[in-house]
Structure 1
């Protein structure tokens, strides 16, 4: 009996080992098939419509060897995106917006923080146990998840190009607005100043890499920061002549529409917040950083705007430096800022060029059109013509819309509204509405409604200015 039990135990042990080996073999085969299917699926995704959108081969989602940013460095990037040169328009924004302009600045700043946080949340998937894993790293990824590859990639690319194009026009117009008052009696007029200044920008079409001109970026930021301090010091030197009573308490709907579009234009950072989050060091809290930088930006814009109006009153111009009555100081600022704009014009310009080149002109085996580089890695003649045409288009838009305030208002009310209000809320509701509380859903719908109102205000101001007043 003992022998029988021992034999039975040995048989059971052998059967158990054979079962384990069989299960392991099947598991390896299943993993192999899974990997094969996953690889095949990835290849299909990467090759599908590559002739239309370009390959994903060069698109880096996370580079483990890439040096990560600290919270302070990321905050600096956010401040540059939402502060920038539009602070020079802050006094004019509050002049046409009045007290409602202050309220709108605070409200838009809050909504910008909220939608940035929504986009950060859209990067993660949550399992049944509540564990979160980051599966999307850019706004492209989020758009593809919600809209599909074709529509998602195309939509974000178009918005990027439109926003960068608007920035290029903004830089050139600002240069014209500052240079023209220095030579009011010139025979060329404002359009002539734009054309003359644009001649210096055409050589950018011949530059293959932004590295050749990017070394001036840091210096321009430092000089600009010192210039802001100089402007505030000048305005406070006039404190005994401040005209606080000229600050408008009310405004009309047309001026509010213009003011709202300009405010939205100054807070567009949603396109880049996901990429910035992927470059942060572990342990960094991007949501808190976004909140702090936006609060600082809102306070600085309101402060700068109020001080500008108190100093110059109803005479406040679109570009605050044109109000300076000390001639040498006015010449200093109105030459320094155009020089700075000239140096940073290249960045949005090359962003457009690189995006179009990557999507359309990498080569017939990768994209729809042939490569724009020849065998010697030089630009082909037709590629140079296309780049020159881009600069020419920027100049033409400047001549059609020579008003900085109106241009920034139109851009903010259209592209800015989609980027800041409509798309983040739609993506977030589409992905998580089943898990959200009713009051969070209601809050998102209010933001969505605010975006629709911004678009309506942009259309209203455009019709009022460009159609009704010219009839």
Structure 2
């Protein structure tokens, strides 16, 4: 009996030892798998760099904050109007002066195309099953681009487009300031370039901004200044109604002027990069397609109305920036100081957006990005990070000095980057994803929009060659 018990104990001991050995092997194998997967995930994040916008525009659907407050339709409409209205309304009279009646037609056509391509991007968010039920599987422009172009190419393309547009906005803010301040001091010894350099000195402190909260403090001031400026400007033009020169409104134009006008019009309607993000921030039951339609109709009306009234008021004396056409010296000083205040206040929004995006992509942390963090242990900017930020301001100044003409630079940007974002990219994505399910007339319509985009790009190249090469030979 004692022998049997001893054997039983030995048997149990052997079993426990074997179980322990097996469990140890299993744990080691599992630990290796975990370490390998963690290493692969970290490596993949470093290689693919798949983070999206950063703190300003965190559009990654997997990181959506469920408790984030949603926007109402009216709030979203205000954002759309700000995107497509902005500073370009000051150029509206000049756009119609060089474009004539064809400029009015082009404004309506481009507004329609912008609505259509925004709707295409909304449709690209959804997949449809065999029963016709739709489900949202792509939440951002990044997701749509990744679906059509692949992860690396899709993320890189959208990031580059965003940085280019935001950098262009920084340049336009500074150029507008120079265009308005320079006529106030025609005898100044430094000239236009000197004014740009002097005004840019006030922009360098923005390089030390590290929080979006600091940026947001300027928002209310910008809205107040903008509202006062436009109300006062429209009131002034209607006060001159008895002196309107209606007969000076141009009915026709040449091909070069039409190309110049077309680029500026396209630039004024670029909102496609942000429409998907805005859609995901709307409250349930909001109809973004209808909202996009009526906001664009309102914008088209305002641009045409403001342009016509401006030409009726100033005639052939209409300048690229409408406030420079004012003959009342005190009012001219008032507008040309008030508007630069607005441009100065909103310069930091695209500037900080570029900084935030680049920091999230490249300088967030050594374990997640290609370069170490821009911040030290005390959450302060490192010296080399400050130099990089100052270099961005300096690059903006250099571009302003090379292309000092607001209208020309706006036209070039609209005819290239703008046409690519508004015409070519959304239509390509939509056709690539849904052409098998589309009716033939819808496919034909999309191909017409695609062809129109090619024409816009051609007009941009034509304008550039005509102005920068032919006229200088």
Q: Give the match for residue 46 of structure 2.
A: 50
* Partner deviation per Cα, 1:224-280 (whole Å, 9 max, x = no partner): 123212111111111111111111111111111111110011000000000000000
Q: How far did residue 54 of structure 1 move? A: 5.3
How far, CA to CA, are the matches of 2:415 and 2:191 in structure 1? 29
1:163-202 pair list within 5 angstroms: 163-202=165-204
* Partner deviation per Cα, 1:206-230 (whole Å, 9 max, x = no partner): 1112321322212312331232121
3-state SS, counterpart of residue 125 of structure 1: strand
Q: How many matched pairs?
A: 433
Q: Give the match for residue 228 of structure 2.
A: 226
Q: Give the match for residue 366 of structure 1.
A: 368
Q: Give the match for residue 409 of structure 2.
A: 407
Q: Give the match for residue 97 of structure 2.
A: 95
Residues 52 and 360 in structure 1, CA contact (< 8 A), matched pair in contact too: no
1:239-254 pair list within 5 angstroms: 239-254=241-256
3-state SS, counterpart of residue 420 of structure 1: helix
2:135 aligned with 1:139, yes or no? no
- The alpha-carbon distance between structure 1 residues 52 and 164, as it changes in their structure 2 partners (threshold 3 A), is same
Consecutive aligned runs of 4 or more in structure 1 exceeding 6 Å deviation: 40-46
How far, CA to CA, are the matches of 1:133 and 1:99 in structure 2? 44
- The alpha-carbon distance between structure 1 residues 124 and 83, as it changes in their structure 2 partners (threshold 3 A), is same
1:175-324 pair list within 5 angstroms: 175-324=177-326
Q: Give the match for residue 118 of structure 1.
A: 120
Q: Gaps spanning 5+ residues in structure 2: where? A: 1-35
How far, CA to CA, are the matches of 2:53 and 2:106 in structure 1? 43
Residues 55 and 367 in structure 1, CA contact (< 8 A), matched pair in contact too: no
Q: Gaps spanning 5+ residues in structure 1: where? A: 1-39
3-state SS, counterpart of residue 236 of structure 2: helix
RMSD of equivalent CA atoms: 1.8
Q: Give the match for residue 396 of structure 1.
A: 398
- The alpha-carbon distance between structure 1 residues 135 and 46, as it changes in their structure 2 partners (threshold 3 A), is farther
3-state SS, counterpart of residue 213 of structure 1: helix
How far, CA to CA, are the matches of 1:105 and 1:55 in structure 2? 36
Q: How far did residue 44 of structure 1 move? A: 6.5
Corresponding residue to 1:162 among 164, 175, 198: 164
* Partner deviation per Cα, 1:96-150 (whole Å, 9 max, x = no partner): 0001100000000000000000000000011000000111111001000100000
Residues 140 and 156 in structure 1, CA contact (< 8 A), matched pair in contact too: yes
Corresponding residue to 1:417 among 410, 416, 419: 419
Corresponding residue to 2:66 among 58, 64, 67: 64
Residues 115 and 270 in structure 1, CA contact (< 8 A), matched pair in contact too: yes
3-state SS, counterpart of residue 216 of structure 2: coil
Residues 243 and 312 in structure 1, CA contact (< 8 A), matched pair in contact too: yes
Corresponding residue to 1:440 among 442, 463, 467: 442
How far, CA to CA, are the matches of 1:45 and 1:241 in structure 2? 70
Q: Choose 48-57 or 386-395, whichever is displaced more.
A: 48-57
How far, CA to CA, are the matches of 2:389 and 2:252 in structure 1? 45
Q: Give the match for residue 14 of structure 1.
A: none
Q: Choose 376-385 or 43-52, whichever is displaced more.
A: 43-52
Q: Give the match for residue 357 of structure 1.
A: 359
Q: Choose 359-368 or 276-285, whichever is displaced more.
A: 359-368
TM-score when normalising by structure 2: 0.89
